[in-house]
C-alpha cells in the first residue's frame, strides 16, 4: 500500500505537497505575498525593484497540504551578469513548479516587464493563476478592466485580487494552492517555515536594511554574506557578516559620516535577527571593496544562483 492508499483506507485525508512558483515583474509584491502566505517573514521586502536575488522558499500549511512557495526574483530585461542570473533562476523555478502564479501590480498594469513575461509563461504547462496585487491602491473598475485585458492575452484557471500588504484575499489564494498541489508526503517538518539556513536569512536581512537606507545604484552594487555564526555560552549569538561593494567611494557611503550609516544598518539588522532567533545577537559588519564581486562565481554560489557564463 502506498501512502495515498493507506490514508484512504484509514479514512484520513491524504496529504498533498508541492511547489508553487510566484512570478512577476520586479516590485509586484511577490515577497510580500510569500510572507503573508507563510504567516511570517521569510523573504525580504523593499520599495526598490530587484530586491529578491535568488529564489526563497517559504512553507505554508493548509489542511492536509504543504505548499512550498517559491518566491522568485522579478522578471525584466536583464543586462548585467547578476541580473541575468536572477531572471534565469525565476524561469527555472517556474518550469520546476507544480503550480505557477503570475503576480501583477494592478496599479502599474501591463508594463514592458509584464509584457515580457506573458509569452514565455504560455509555454509553462502548469496550472496557472493570475494574482492582481495592491488592490488597496486602485479603483474597482480599473481593476476589472485589467483582469479582462490579461485574461484575453493568456488563460488562467483562477484570477485573484489581493492586497498582499494588508492581507486581503490572501486566504483564498492559499486555499487554492492547497487544492492544486499534488498528493504526496510532506517534504518538510510541520514547523519549518523556510528551507533557507538562518545564516542566509540573516545576510538577507542586512541586505534589506541596505536597500532601505542606501540610494541610487548602491544597493545593486553591494551584496552581503554571513561569514561566521557562533552560539556563545550565555546563549547569545555572535554573527560576522561582510558587505561587498565595488568601489572605495561606495565603501565610504556605506560607512557614512563617523560610521553613522553602518551603525544604523547594523542595529536595525541585529534587532530583527535577534527577534527571529529569540536570542541576543552581537552583529559585526565589515565592508570590503571587491571590484568584481558581481563577476565572481563564488559570490553566486553563496547567493544560491547559477553563474551565467559569457559577458
Minimum Å gap between C-beta 143 and ligand GTP is: 12
Choosing from 36, 52, 66, 89, the residue that interacts with Mg ion (CB under 5 A) is 52
Helix (H) or strand (E) holding 207: helix 198-213
Identify what 50 binds: Mg ion, ligand GTP, none; CB under 5 to 8 Å per kind: ligand GTP
Binding residues for GTP: 24-31, 71-75, 133-136
Residue 113 makes contact with Mg ion by CB under 5 A: no
Helix 198-213 crosses helix 260-277 at what angle (to 10 degrees)?
140
CB of 81 to Mg ion, least distance (A): 19
CB 302 within 8 A of CB 225: yes
Task: Give residues with Cβ within 8 angstroms of 142, minimum separation 6.
Answer: 106
Residue 205's nearest CA partner among 273, 302, 254, 255 is 273
CA distance 129 to 134: 16
Nearer to ligand GTP, 195 or 240 (CB): 195
Under the criterion CB under 5 A, does residue 31 sit at the interface with Mg ion? yes
Distance of CA 51 to the CA centre of its chain: 8
Answer whether 42's CB lies under 8 Å from 193's CB.
Answer: yes
> In terms of CB distance, is 106 or 262 closer to ligand GTP?
106
163 binds, options Mg ion, ligand GTP, none, Cβ within 5 to 8 A by partner type: ligand GTP
Residues from 40 through 69 that contact ligand GTP (CB under 6 A)? 45-47, 49-52
* Binding range to ligand GTP, per CB under 6 A, among 129-137, 228-236, 269-277, 292-300: 129-137
Pick the piece of the chain touching ligand GTP (CB under 6 A) from 30-38, 62-70, 117-125, 216-224: 30-38
Q: What residue ranges bind Mg ion (CB under 5 A)?
A: 30-31, 51-52
Q: What residue ranges bind ligand GTP (CB under 6 A)?
A: 24, 26-32, 45-47, 49-52, 73-74, 133-134, 136-137, 163-165
Amino acid at each position: 500500500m502506498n501512502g495515498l492508499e493507506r490514508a484512504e483506507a484509514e479514512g484520513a485525508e491524504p496529504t498533498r505537497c508541492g511547489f508553487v512558483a510566484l512570478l512577476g515583474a520586479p516590485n509586484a509584491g511577490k515577497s510580500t505575498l510569500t510572507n503573508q502566505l507563510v504567516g511570517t517573514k521569510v523573504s525580504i521586502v523593499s520599495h526598490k525593484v530587484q530586491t529578491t536575488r535568488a529564489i526563497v522558499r517559504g512553507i505554508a500549511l493548509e489542511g492536509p497540504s504543504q505548499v512550498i512557495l517559491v518566491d522568485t526574483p522579478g522578471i525584466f530585461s536583464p543586462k548585467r551578469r547578476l541580473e541575468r542570473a536572477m531572471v534565469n533562476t525565476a524561469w527555472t523555478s517556474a518550469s520546476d513548479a507544480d503550480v505557477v502564479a503570475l503576480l501583477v501590480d494592478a496599479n502599474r498594469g501591463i508594463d514592458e516587464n509584464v509584457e515580457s513575461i506573458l509569452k514565455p509563461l504560455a509555454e509553462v504547462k502548469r496550472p496557472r493563476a493570475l494574482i492582481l496585487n495592491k488592490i488597496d491602491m486602485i479603483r474597482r473598475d480599473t481593476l476589472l478592466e485589467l483582469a479582462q485585458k490579461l485574461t484575453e492575452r493568456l488563460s488562467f484557471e483562477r484570477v485573484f485580487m489581493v492586497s498582499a500588504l494588508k492581507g486581503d484575499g490572501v486566504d483564498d489564494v492559499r486555499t487554492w494552492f492547497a487544492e492544486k498541489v499534488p498528493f504526496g508526503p510532506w517534504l518538510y517538518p510541520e514547523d519549518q517555515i523556510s528551507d533557507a539556513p538562518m545564516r542566509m536569512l540573516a545576510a538577507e536581512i542586512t541586505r534589506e536594511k541596505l536597500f532601505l537606507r542606501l540610494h541610487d545604484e548602491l544597493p545593486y552594487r553591494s551584496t552581503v554574506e554571513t561569514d561566521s555564526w557562533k552560539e556563545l555560552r550565555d546563549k547569545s549569538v555572535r554573527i560576522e557578516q561582510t558587505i561587498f561593494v565595488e568601489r572605495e567611494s561606495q565603501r565610504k557611503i556605506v560607512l557614512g559620516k563617523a560610521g553613522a550609516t553602518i551603525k544604523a544598518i547594523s542595529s536595525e539588522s541585529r534587532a530583527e535577527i535577534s527577534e527571529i532567533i529569540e536570542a541576543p545577537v552581537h552583529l559585526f559588519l565589515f565592508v570590503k571593496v571587491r571590484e568584481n564581486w558581481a563577476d565572481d562565481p563564488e559570490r553566486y554560489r553563496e547567493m544560491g544562483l547559477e553563474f551565467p557564463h559569457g559577458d
